[in-house]
Chain A
Amino acid sequence: MCSTFAPTSLREDDSSAAKLPGACLLGARLPGAQGGLGLARRRRLDAYTAGALCRGESRVRRLVRSAASGALLVLLIFGGCRKVADHPLFRGAGHQEPQAGGTFRFYHETNVRTLDPHVAYDELSIMALRLVYEPLLNFDADGELIAGLAEALPELSEDGLSYRLRLRQDVMFQDGHALDAEAVRASLYRMLAPKTGSPATEFFTKLRGLAAFRAGTSKEIEGLVIEDAHTLRFDLREIDVAFPFALGLTFTSPIAPTALARAAAGERLPPLGTGPYRLEQWERGVALTFDVNATYHTPAARPERMVFYENVPRHLAIMRFRNGELDVLFSFSPADATFFRETPSWQPQVHENVEAIIGGIVMNCELPPFDNVHVRRAVAFALNRERWRAARGNSFIAWGQPLPPMLDGSLPPEHPSVQRYNLDRARAELAKAGFPDGLPYPIELWLGESPGAQVSGQFAQADLAKIGIKLELKPVSFAVFIEETSKRGRVPMFFSAWGQDFPDASSVLDPLFHSRGIESDESQNRSFYINDTVSRMLDQAHLLRDPDQREALYAAASKIIAEDAPWAFLYVPLRMNAYQPYVRNVTHHPVWSHPYESVWLDLPRVPWTQGRAPGGAH
């Protein structure tokens, strides 16, 4: 109906439309002498001419305008490229004595899973837990076992089957209760109960009566005895000199009786321990705030508050650290690592330490061709670990044996049994296996999800191609990776890494290379390596009280494992941390990745540019 009322002069086919106001809006054509041109070209020309006349501008002006718009866009995008200071923004006030007060801010890239010390087994949760809880024993900076909540290290009975632990009498829980043997026993009972589902039970399997307790046939654990109000005794079924190490794990942290009662009533476990901090607030996914515990048994100058930010991805962490919003940084891209290592003002703030983790390529000893030891050795000799190290920004040290360097029983790097790059030996071993021209079929190398795994897979592909082994990379999801690699006869070859639970060789060798670790579906020994001599040696080491004899036995087992090559051992990672200059008493800990309990802050922080530039000593 509208068109009925539309004046004819405004219709599109009206050749005089362009002379009328508003005609440009309607895309009207101008009259003109374009006869002879094709219809499409004529329409384009019409449109252009109409537009140009309507705007009354020339082509040159249009170009100038476009150039100006482009320049504006470039300015907008790059105008903000301001240089950022390549030094810390703040330094400390210069105190030499530890100072109390301030807020220490640290972070992690994902979410804290739980604050239940009996369940937590991941780095992230343990970072938070260690502020609130304390285990019965602890480890010092050299990895030696020390008394934590105990007065001293446990006393071993003459028969080697009992450990007596005397608790400190000056320790209070954060709910006001005093720590005593009854509270510790109640806490350990909860930890060992099947309902709790604690991963700790595997460390206590030799505790007398535990099996009956877990099976439900006994309500008591026979081997867990209260001798007096502050003394506990652990009775074992058989000698195990590594047992005290288990008492140093966070799992053994006593939980306040009121918290245990609330958990028993079906509530979530409130985080109440004996640690130096108490949880003030937890906004899940955002941050946990801890306030200093005024009743802590060992007073020291500490930050008044700790804030643990969750969900801070690496790129944000670096920006926030350099802006002075975070006090510690531990996740670096290769470029960032180089920046912090090579910038003079940051160098003193960077700490690098070897971690007690061993990484490598696992070969399934039950599947061909890796059921042949010579093929496994060929793989171990063909991998150029130093080239990998250089390519990965020196983020690890090349390491060709099962035990990391800080553990007793690790072989000296020059030991002949240590796996190292040697192409001639690799080819010779492959020839001994009956494949002088290389393997006639490709092998699947399974990879986890991380981009790093893909790069490592490509390195392995390139190295093994030199001796005639063709690898096919198979990236799978984490869930599938975990499930399939632990099953018998499924995965021929995959990348893996293993970290110690406590600083003892048994923590690495037992789960990875003892034949007891093999199950049909859920193996921890995922190379399915069976060597009765090695298994016997590992069992025997648990009985030896003489540390030197134990070390020699573990060294002998390491030698055999390195030569049998169920893994092509590759690296021990370096952990890099950078701290703000005002963060003091930073220590490296061989067991705990983020030991922040002992730091203090040299406050007030002073802008870097004021006064002298500090040395940044910790």
Chain B
Amino acid sequence: MVEHLIRRTAYALFIVWASVSCVFFLMYAVGDPAAATLGERASAEQLANFRAQHGLDRPVLSQYLTYIGVRPCHVRPGYCGLAQGHLGDSLRLDATIASVFAERIPRTALLGAMATLIEIIIGVGLGLWAGATRRRWVDSSLLTFAYLGISIPTFVAGLIALDQLAFRMGLFPVGGYGETPLDHLKHALLPSLVLGLLGSATYLRLVRSETRDLLADEFSRMLRSLGVSRRRLTLRYLPRLAILPVITLLGLHLPALVGGAVITETIFGWPGLGRLAVEAIYNLDAPLVLAVVLVASMAVQAGNLLADMALHLLDPRVART
């Protein structure tokens, strides 16, 4: 297990480094960050000053080495790259990226966590029900819900929910983030419900199909023949097996907790990381884009690793292999 973990961690670090490096060079191939930041009104002198100030006038390789942290910093003495734990300064926002992330990541994580919780509760619950029910209309209705969830784009469902539930009926706040912690929760409820309900469709289908397979399995029939009631079988014995693929899916889902649901954040005016990342891409705010890529790729690797470990813990068969 330990050896496996070490191997996976090394691999994860390599992937993170490769992703960040690729994006670094791509960002500089796309356009001039100085022109994108200062806009069309900037004079040649201003552009030159801006480049000098942010080290953008140096060769790309030199900038890369500084960014990674193996060359001295151009704005302050010593080294100030990733290796030293510095993410740099945003070109557009008058702030360090660390301070921006400190504000944005908790907001995105709150929304993502609430949405994931709703997804799991509804997706797994309904999936078990759909898989175990003998009533075909229940199964059909739940499958219809699942297909609707998969088919309806978030921006359509989000706008309808906003208009109907928040604006017209006043059941939820009309977008935004609120002021107090309780307010944040209230404001997060509708976007996370939309995200959660739509996202639960995937879990529903997965768990339904898993439950059906498990019910047809011989161990279920044996348990039934030994007198285990159908309800007990469904609620007690099946979930532990049926959620194994859900855990893998959750691992893949973790980056969304950090990277943000861009469309949802935009529709609901949620000031999270996803929306900021899109703005950074539009404005060619290279350090900010790179930092988002770094965090997102780390989240992907961490998610996979955590899913592996969870499977090891929950399923002895995996541990044996």
Contacts and interface: CB of A to CB of B under 8 A. Distances in A.
Contact of B134 (A54, A194, A482): A54
A284 B174 contact: no
Contact of A55 (B135, B225, B279, B283): B135
B283 A479 contact: yes
Given A62-B137, A315-B159, A323 B269 contact: no
Interface size grouping (class) on chain B: 35 or more
Nearest to A122: B39
B110 to A, nearest CB: 13
Given A25-B230, A479-B31, A479-B35, A519 B221 contact: no
Given A268-B94, A519-B44, A81 B269 contact: no
Contacts of A195: 53
Given A80-B168, A197-B50, A483 B43 contact: no
A564 B148 CA distance: 58
B221 A81 contact: no
B239 interface: no
A315 B263 CA distance: 14
Contacts of A323: 167, 174
B36 interface: yes
B30 A477 contact: yes
Given A6-B218, A477-B30, A199 B137 contact: no
Contact of A2 (B41, B95, B218, B283): B218
Interface in B63-109: 92-95, 100, 103-104, 107
A521 B57 CA distance: 14
A313 interface: yes
B225 A319 contact: no
Contact of A202 (B46, B53, B93, B219): B46
B62 interface: no
Interface in A298-342: 309-313, 315-316, 319-320, 322-323, 325
A504 interface: no
Contacts of A496: 40
Interface stretch (A108-116, A131-139, A433-441, A566-574): A108-116
B46 A199 contact: yes
A522 B93 contact: no
A419 interface: no
Contacts of B49: 194, 197
A114 B94 contact: yes
28 contacts: A22-B230, A25-B132, A25-B224, A27-B216, A55-B135, A55-B136, A80-B164, A119-B94, A195-B53, A201-B45, A268-B94, A285-B177, A285-B276, A310-B271, A313-B175, A319-B162, A320-B175, A323-B167, A477-B31, A477-B284, A478-B283, A479-B30, A483-B35, A483-B36, A486-B35, A519-B44, A522-B35, A524-B40
Interface of B: 30-33, 35-36, 38-47, 49-50, 53, 92-95, 100, 103-104, 107, 132, 134-137, 140-141, 144, 159-160, 162-169, 174-177, 179, 215-219, 221-222, 224-225, 230, 266-269, 271, 275-276, 279, 282-284
5 nearest CB pairs, A to B? A479-B31, A285-B271, A479-B36, A114-B94, A80-B164
